[in-house]
């Protein structure tokens, strides 16, 4: 069964450092999403891609967060510099016809 892949699974960093997360969507899924999930809450959308184009990044803190999907397949989410409040689970999802399938997530801890 095809799955969304994410790496790393866990990341511990110190504040002011740079971090990057990688996502490989299910093959053939043109739409890719990055969500952030704070412990005890539901996921919140950070950015949505259709192929290589950004469809929605209205909730992405652009002063420190960036996302790219250069060839319309895999994607990278970067935070620079990381802040204490960025500690959360970062989830990637992909879809073909509406249903969104999530990866296992990257648990980020900022010290």
Partner 1 sequence: GENVEQHPSTLSVQEGDSAVIKCTYSDSASNYFPWYKQELGKGPQLIIDIRSNVGEKKDQRIAVTLNKTAKHFSLHITETQPEDSAVYFCAASILFYQGGKLIFGQGTELSVKP
Which residues of this chain interact with partner 1, rule CB under 8 A? 4, 6, 31, 33, 35, 40-45, 48, 50, 55-56, 91, 95, 98-105, 107
d(CA 27, CA 21): 19
Closest CA to 31 of 54, 58, 8: 54
Q: How far is the CB of 70 from partner 1 (least distance, A)?
A: 19
Q: How far is the CB of 100 from partner 1 (least distance, A)?
A: 6
d(CA 39, CA 36): 10
Q: How far is the CB of 21 from partner 1 (least distance, A)?
A: 13
As given in the structure block, the two tokens for residue 88 are 């959360």
The secondary structure of residue 86, as a DSSP letter, is G
Based on CB atoms, which residue is closest to partner 1, 4 or 88? 4
Based on CB atoms, which residue is closest to partner 1, 18 or 55? 55
């Amino acid at each position: 069964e095809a799955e969304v892949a994410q790496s790393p699974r866990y990341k511990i960093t110190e504040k002011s450092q740079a971090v990057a997360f990688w996502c490989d969507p299910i093959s053939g899924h043109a739409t890719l999403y990055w969500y952030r999930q704070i412990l005890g809450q539901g996921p919140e959308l950070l950015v949505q891609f259709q192929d290589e184009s950004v469809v929605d990044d209205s909730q992405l803190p652009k002063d420190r967060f960036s996302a790219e999907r250069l060839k319309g397949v895999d994607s990278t989410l970067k935070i620079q510099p990381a802040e204490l409040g960025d500690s959360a689970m970062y989830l990637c999802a992909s879809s073909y016809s509406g249903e969104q399938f999530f990866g296992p997530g990257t648990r980020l801890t900022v010290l």
